[in-house]
Structure 1
Amino acid sequence: MTPLQLTAVERLDRCTVRITTDAGKSGTGFFFFEPTDAAGQSEGGGYILIITCRHVLANAQCVQLIFTLFDAAGNADVVEIDEPLTSFQLVGHIDPDVDLVCLNISGFMNGVTLDGYTFDFTALGRDWIPGPDVLNEVGVAANVLMVGYPDGQWDHVNNKPVFRRGITATNPKISWQGRREFLIDMAVYQGSSGSPIVAYDHGAIGTTGGQIGFGTRSWLIGINQGVYEVDVEGQISINGVAEDSVIRARLPMNLGECISADRINELVDHFRDHMIRLVSDNYSFPSSPTRRSGPLSLLGEPSVLVPSSPVSLCSPGSS
């Protein structure tokens, strides 16, 4: 099955990456493809970015990323890359209060590809982000999926994320508390920061106009950045007799806070401006990261993913 034949869910199953740092944090990132062509054409190659939340990488010097690679014989290998953040081009959202950041891993992927390996992944793109007209069809109580690594849980043998299902708890078109954010009703835990939030329906699909269609609808509408919690206090009771000790805990309310996906466009626009400045300044890009163990040897780092590299482009819509 080629990437363009994958269903929306199969694409989402391959678009995330598990992130841990030397600062003791874990989270989720997802692959995002941005063409180098200003007109958005992918034939000339493009950048492969990992998008996540800014706080996932806060205070970190090194980052660990998990990839699935295929060698020339078609054998799969789950590989952890442990590298300084300075090995990648790290660009945050132009507004420091927006909890978004991207890592440009194009050069690293080029090095791996030139060494005879290919990546098993799919990358989301701007065509996954709905415009205002399409977003009008996504309101309160819309079905959503979240893909990521809650509490760091994942299938470490097959390098697969965990899917969770819920609904929008507030209207994603309306800025929650005056911020371009919205809430979801879903069990959200640490490690889910950076997870893509996708409005997903399959089969009979209702519209705001009361009509019903059939097919698959999948749109990237947000990125999870946190969860609301509630303080709980109580006492231990043994045979009906309360002990003196008091137990206090913070429990998740099953309300996730999500950044609106249109903020991704702003992040990627800022990244493009950053790359243009580097090129105009004749910036010398750092050498490629080196794998810590095993036979994989990475070569020199171009800053742009060349067309011959194994990029899997995903488009939303019917599957």
Structure 2
Amino acid sequence: MPLSPAEQLAHSTVRIECDLAGGGVGTGTGFFYSLDRNENQHIPVIVTNKHVVEGAVKGRFLLTLRNGDDEPAIGKVQAYELDSFQNRWLPHPDSDVDLCVMPIAPLLHEAEETNTKFFFSALDKNMIPAASDLDEMEGLETIVMVGYPNGLWDKVNNLPIFRKGVLASDYKYDWNGKKEFLIDAACFPGSSGSPVLLFDVGSYQTRNGLFVGSRIMLLGVLYAGPQHTIQGDIQVVTVPTLQKQISVAAIPNNLGIVIKSSQLNVFEGMLK
């Protein structure tokens, strides 16, 4: 049977594990994305945050194999470990935008030489909301975030964890003047780099009324969240990747700051 939209979305992400130069292991989320897509070709990349791979001397991820019916071979995976991991990523040219991409075409071609094929579902710029989509939004949409909070995932089947929430700021406007918005959802370490989507399947409400059908859009990429300290101060920190024992000094507000997906358009044409 064809994969449902949710099943396709489950195969759009990859768990990233990094050996950090200062010691320790950090985890984060990446997702597959197609750049420069046209009728004949595209450039496949993995998208994540710069801070996820910063200082990573080695990185690892698992890719699900594709079976003979061009479907995911659930439970069959191949692991990759890459040296000089941080240097393999192309950063967003704006130092204030916490995004980077890694081209994976060489890895896929190398695998094909051994008759190995992977299954993944890549997002692309056609899923980025257009101006007409923004006009239809009510301001309080339900969102879905896909990733690996606290590094957790279904390691037997190599599948991520879905989280639901709502927009905490109106997507039509830039939060505090930056191409960002807020979500009301639990954002734990390991969630950095998670895609945040508007995911309405079956029926959905817009400013123009109730519609029957599907509406799936890539709204942005999680990277940070406000926390309040035990002294009561409020700070904005990137969602951490490193799991370690610490004394409790900050408490998450269950809010996430998300980079708008339009920032991914900067990478179009950069890898040709």
- Shorter-chain TM-score bucket reads 0.7 to 0.9
SS in 1 for 2:112: helix
Structure-to-structure mapping, 1:118-129, within 5 angstroms: 118-129=117-128
Change (3 A) 1:248 1:101: closer
Q: Report if the CA contact (8 A) 1:231-1:251 is conserved.
A: yes
User: Which digits, 9 at most, give the CA deviation of each residue in 1:153-190, with x for residues without a partner?
Assistant: 10000000000000000011211111110000001101
Aligned to 1:291: none
In the TM superposition, what is the alpha-carbon distance from 1:121 to its structure 2 partner? 1.1
User: Which digits, 9 at most, give the CA deviation of each residue in 1:225-279, with x for residues without a partner?
Assistant: 0222222369xxxxxxxxxxxx85322111011000100111x22xx23x34xxx
User: Which digits, 9 at most, give the CA deviation of each residue in 1:85-125, with x for residues without a partner?
Assistant: 46985211111110000000111011112211111211111
CA distance in 2, matches of 1:208, 1:140: 9
Q: Which has the higher contact order (CA 8 A, sep 6+)?
A: 1
* Structure 2: gaps of 5 or more residues: 233-246
**Normalized against structure 1, the TM-score is what?**
0.73
Aligned to 2:236: none
SS in 1 for 2:226: strand
Q: Report if the CA contact (8 A) 2:230-2:250 is conserved.
A: yes
Aligned to 2:211: 213
SS in 1 for 2:35: strand
Q: Report if the CA contact (8 A) 2:75-2:156 is conserved.
A: no
Q: Does 1:51 align with 2:50?
A: no
Aligned to 2:256: 256
Alignment: residue pair count: 251
SS in 1 for 2:111: helix
Aligned to 1:285: none
SS in 1 for 2:218: strand
User: Which digits, 9 at most, give the CA deviation of each residue in 1:20-74, with x for residues without a partner?
Assistant: 1111221100001124xxxx4232x221100000100111122111211247796
In the TM superposition, what is the alpha-carbon distance from 1:200 to its structure 2 partner? 1.4
Q: Report if the CA contact (8 A) 1:89-1:105 is conserved.
A: no
Q: Report if the CA contact (8 A) 1:138-1:199 is conserved.
A: no
Structure-to-structure mapping, 1:1-319, within 5 angstroms: 1=1, 5-23=2-20, 24-35=25-36, 40-43=37-40, 45-70=41-66, 77-85=76-84, 89-209=88-208, 211-232=209-230, 248-266=248-266, 268-269=267-268, 272-273=269-270, 275-276=271-272
**Normalized against structure 2, the TM-score is what?**
0.85
- Computing the radius of gyration over CA atoms, which structure comes out larger, 1 or 2? 1
Structure having the larger proportion of residues in strand: 2
Q: Report if the CA contact (8 A) 2:74-2:157 is conserved.
A: no
User: Which digits, 9 at most, give the CA deviation of each residue in 1:189-227, with x for residues without a partner?
Assistant: 010110000011223311113x11111211001100022
**Residue type of the alignment partner of 1:29:** G
In the TM superposition, what is the alpha-carbon distance from 1:9 to its structure 2 partner? 1.2
Aligned to 1:305: none
SS in 2 for 1:11: helix
Q: Report if the CA contact (8 A) 2:171-2:181 is conserved.
A: yes
CA RMSD across the alignment? 2.3
Q: Report if the CA contact (8 A) 1:233-1:248 is conserved.
A: no
**Residue type of the alignment partner of 1:148:** G
Q: Report if the CA contact (8 A) 1:70-1:76 is conserved.
A: no
Which is further off, 69-78 or 254-263? 69-78
CA distance in 2, matches of 1:68, 1:85: 23
CA distance in 2, matches of 1:155, 1:104: 25
**Residue type of the alignment partner of 1:250:** A
SS in 1 for 2:166: strand
CA distance in 2, matches of 1:87, 1:202: 37
CA distance in 2, matches of 1:206, 1:49: 33
CA distance in 2, matches of 1:160, 1:149: 9
